[in-house]
Structure 1
Amino acid sequence: MSARPNQGQGPLYRLYIGRLRRQISPTAVPGHVAMMIDGNRRWARQAGYATPADGHRAGAAKMREFLEWCDRVGVRVVSLYLLSLDNLRKRPQQELSDLIEIIAELADTLSHTRDWQVQHVGRLEGLPPELARVLADVQERTKDNTGLHVNLAVGYGGRGEIVDAVRSIIAQHDERGGTLEELAASLTPEQIGEHLYTGGQPDPDLVIRTSGEQRLSDFLLWQSAHSEFYFVEALGPDLREVDFLRAIRDYADRDRRFGG
């Protein structure tokens, strides 16, 4: 098995990190960052591991670091894309079992980290009962925390989320005894947004994806309508703090038009 180099440990690297931090104004930091960690399986294969599980474990450890970086610069909300509905349907059973165990361990660890509030976003149905229990317990345990808000997108699909939001609106309207005509006349984008898994939260200002891939993969489709995107060539486990800070600096230099 080949060893991966321990990146970003030298004095020059640390000096550069300090310089980047000083270049970022607290007022220019995105309030909500969404992360699509990609390339874990490729990382494991290139490093000579026998199974993707080692890549997923390394990716989970990197997400823990990533949250620390976000907290350090003043990001208030972070959404992590950990397991999609497509993953549940298409990944090999052994890989899926390993990934579910890794996600459960990560969620539990985060619930004991600082004053972070951890929320599950996605569908519980279709998840293994043990993972569903862990996610529910973690959310309950941290619901009153006031620190970094961490969304764990597990069993998540953007199209499915929109469908669930519309179903919720219809059910609520039906309980009030309203007609279909009244529902159609009253439906607004703001109303749909309130019924999303992330209802009440700000939309992501910045969406980051690793491994050089440049696609959304059914992640926060509604919420990212006006988000800025930043793509990193590094595979997920190889992501460095310098990559993250460059993304924040790049975001701060952009002229956001919000669809204009």
Structure 2
Amino acid sequence: MSEEKKIPMHLAIILDGNGRWAKKRGLPRNFGHLKGCDNVEPVCKAAFDLGIKYVTMYAFSTENWKRPQSEVDELMKLLAKYMKDAMKLSVKHNMRVRIIGDKTGLSDELNKLITELEELSKDFTGLQFQIAINYGGRDEIRRAFKNILIKAEKDGVSYSELAENISEELISKNLDTADIPDPDLMIRTSGEQRISNYMIWQLAYTEYFFTDTLWPDFSKKDLEEAIEFYSGRERRFGGLKKG
């Protein structure tokens, strides 16, 4: 990739197509999830090598609990295994890992692993990697407003004062991504063309790239194609074209 290419600072990815990848091969859906999990490290490495600083991946949504219980159980086991693997990977790659989403809905075991992983990697300065687990964009905004109201009551701020001072900046500061820049580019694999309740506040001015490639097959070449697309976009954020 040429040096002239614009590189997004923050890349968001919806990992889609694991089940279809497995079905095409006559394999159980959970094997597809396992294969998709194996693809996380090479894509993160490729992103960092290309100059991307932040990567956020959608691993398990608030809606995914509606899937068959057997599949949910296997996904939870896979996520727990990945938290353990990520401890080694974070040290290997100097990678900071954070989990976004409602952790109160996760098991004690998974929360313990998340805490250990986040504490271990908190000072690492390489790729800043966020994993969205039990995450929903609407739920995140709901939780943000809940936190704002609780803090206002604790500080003795009246609702009228709060209403007068509430701002987009205040809401952003109470989201799971408070100290992380909004994504510049969002990629969704497998051909679906919607954001499925993913970072709906943060993606307001993000460029969207949809690919038919299933997540387990998504490679550095696919990532470069997405960046090529992003590089050709002129981001005006509501303003007029320059020149």
Q: TM-score band (shorter)?
A: over 0.9
Cα distance between partner residues in 1 of 2:95 and 2:37? 17
The Cα of 1:196 is off from its aligned counterpart by 0.2
Find 1:109's aligned residue among 82, 85, 90.
85
Corresponding residue number in structure 1 for 2:150 = 171
Contact 1:121 1:197 in 2 (8 A): yes
| Residue of 90, 100, 103 corresponding to 2:76 | 100
1:75 corresponds to which of 52, 58, 63: 52
1:83 Cα deviation after fit = 0.3
What is residue 85 of structure 1 aligned with on the other side? 62
Task: Please name the residue that 2:10 is paired with.
Answer: 32
* Aligned partners of 1:122 and 1:197 also within 8 Å: yes
Structure 1 moving runs of 4+ over 4 Å: none
Q: Do the aligned residues in 2 keep the contact of 1:120 with 1:136 (CA within 8 Å)? A: no
Secondary structure in 2 matching 1:33:
strand
Shift in Å, 1:64: 1.6
Q: Where do residues 121-160 of structure 1 align in structure 2 (5 Å cutoff)?
A: 121-160=100-139
Question: Are 1:44 and 1:55, in contact at CA under 8 Å, matched by a contact in 2?
Answer: yes
The C-alpha deviation readout for 1:72-113, integer Å capped at 9, x for no partner, is 11111100100001002x011111111111122223322322
1:228 has 2:204 as partner: no
Say if 1:78 and 1:148, in contact at 8 Å, map to a contact too.
yes
1:244 is paired with a residue of what secondary structure? helix
Tell me the equivalent position of 1:7. Answer: none
Structure 1, unaligned runs of 5 or more? 1-20
Which sections of structure 2, spanning at least 5 residues, go unmatched? none
Aligned residues: 236
Which of 193, 197, 217 aligns to 1:218? It is 197
Distance between the aligned counterparts of 1:140 and 1:166, measured in 2? 27
Residue 201 of structure 1, aligned match among 176, 180, 184:
180
One-letter amino acid matched to 1:234 = T
Look up the equivalent residue of 1:59 and give its one-letter code: G
Cα distance between partner residues in 1 of 2:33 and 2:41: 13
Q: How does 1:177-192 map to 2 (within 5 A)?
A: 177-192=156-171
Query: What's the offset of the Cα at 1:24?
Result: 4.6
Q: Percent identity of the aligned residues?
A: 36
In structure 2, the residue corresponding to 1:111 is in which secondary structure? helix
RMSD over equivalenced CA pairs, Å: 1.2
Q: TM-score, normalised by structure 1?
A: 0.88
Amino acid across the alignment from 1:247: A
Correspondence for 1:3: none
Q: Which amino acid aligns with 1:87?
A: N
- TM-score normalised by structure 2 residue count: 0.94
